[in-house]
Amino acid sequence: MLFTSFAFLVLFAITFSLYYLPIAVNYQVPILIISSLIFYAYNQPELLLLLLFSAFINSIASYLVVHSNLVHQKRIATVGVVVNLGLLAFFKYGQLIGSFFIRPATTESFLLSVPLPIGISFFTFEGISLLVDVYRGNVDERKHLVSPSVLDHCKRTLLFISFFPHLIAGPILKAHDFLPQIHVKTLGQINVQRCFRLLVTGYFLKMVVADNLKDFTFWIAYPYFQSYSSVNLLVMLFGYSCQIFADFAGYSLIAIGLASLFGYEFNPNFNFPYIATSFKDFWKRWHISLSTFLMEYLYIPLGGNRKGELRTYLNLLITMFLGGLWHGAAWSYAIWGLAHGLALAVERFLSPRFALPNRAMFRFASGALVFGFVSLAWLLFKLPNFSHVMGYFSSIAKNKTMAPDFLQIFQILLYSSPVVLYHAHYLFKYSQQRVQVVFPSYVYYAVMLFFIALNSGNSGDFIYFQF
């Protein structure tokens, strides 16, 4: 179910109305759970069983970790994590794993027929978060994560995993952030102005920017890109960079706004990533919930930067490689992760040895380098077949003599401009010069509402639904 669909608006209105009824104050968690299960089952009801199974396994395993003796706690937590990874591997990577082995045609046909459950990458990571947080936690921390009643703990865990604002495409929640928030909510606690701003900005980025840009970046696909000029190919890549930001950041803002309406606070998932002047800075700003998850649950356990310089570089490469594979069962995603891991490792090696002067010109050049690298790497998302990626680069080199399609270039730049202005506004607002904002903030939201009403593109799935 799309946040932009009429069906969702009906579901939200009913859920919100029931949630804050005085007679329903003790049933807020069940109301959210039922609404979330309807939301998830709307398009693929048969896959609801997988979500329920995941919640059940993580509930029981985390409960047993707390209520078992010390000898068995690590074993139970390990089995729970392995089950989560097994579900993810079977449903998402079965075909990729099977490609390593000689297998009969019937097996290959079976692997191809296995559906990819929407959101599985997100809710399996959240299950892992619960198990690891419970295992690591001290007595006081465990009290906030695991209820004394197994039924109550199962209910709380099901809400944590299935809560509809984040269920399909994040942000990835951590158990120690979400579970302590489960308590009775009141209508008066809602910060209406903040929710309004989050939702309007999110819907604008998705419906006006991303949904319009998708009609122009569609031509990046094979074999269409072969018939476009080098200039158009580069502009389309720029447009796709703006599209994927608007699409995913828009989803995250909507999710944060919706959760806040029900009294739950999610951490920000984006922090103006395209102003980053280093790759490290970029990953502190882009998909923050994933980068912090990988840092906390993978990079640090691998040893982080505590075991020497070479091991640090290796840990970066492993973390980003697996982070790339998390996005999809194709080697292009793994290469994307490795490329970012290599960029982080090289940057870490060079930074203390070749420090650049802190001048505007050098910051701009660094930012342009990071943005250019990130934009080129997005091609691995748009074209999962690696040979098509190489073909795209080849076309950029070969099609220099083709006449540019200036109308397409204008349209891409037009619909990309809100992303540019969004980042520029942030830079100006927080620059040392403290440039004054010309218009009061409500003018921006009025303009966004105007364009949402009159210039939304054809509705499309959020890009991160496929992950």
Please give the angle made by the CA atoms of 247, 249 and 251, to the nearest 5 degrees: 70
Look up 327 and say whether it is catalytic. yes
376-380 CB contacts, 8 Å cutoff, 24+ apart:
376/237, 377/336, 377/339, 377/340, 378/237, 378/240, 378/241, 378/244, 379/220, 379/237, 379/240, 380/332, 380/333, 380/335, 380/336, 380/339
The DSSP 8-state label assigned to residue 355 in this structure reads P
Please give the angle made by the CA atoms of 244, 241 and 265, to the nearest 5 degrees: 40
Cβ atoms of residues 171 and 269 within 8 Å: yes
Separation of alpha carbons 296 and 125, rounded Å: 12
Task: Give the Å distances, CA to CA, from 314 to 309, 319, 333, 341.
Answer: 9, 9, 18, 9
Selected catalytic residue, list 327, 340, 388, 423: 327
Rounded to the nearest angstrom, the gap between the alpha carbon of residue 163 and the centroid of all alpha carbons in its chain is: 15
Nearest residue to 415 (alpha-carbon basis) of 205, 212, 202: 212
Place of tokens 């199962």: 154
Place of tokens 């795209």: 392
10-13 CB contacts, 8 Å cutoff, 24+ apart:
11/35, 11/38, 11/39, 12/258
Nearest residue to 97 (alpha-carbon basis) of 81, 86, 83: 86
Residue 21 — left, alpha, or beta (φ > 0 → left; ψ -120 to 50 → alpha)? beta
Instruction: Spell out a b/e string for 432-454, using b for 16 or more CB atoms within 10 Å of the CB, else e.
Output: eeeeeeeeeeeebbeebeeebee
The pair of structure tokens assigned to 370 is: 């990071």
The pair of structure tokens assigned to 140 is: 């006081």
Separation of alpha carbons 123 and 51, rounded Å: 8
Question: Among all residues, which ones are annotated catalytic?
Answer: 327
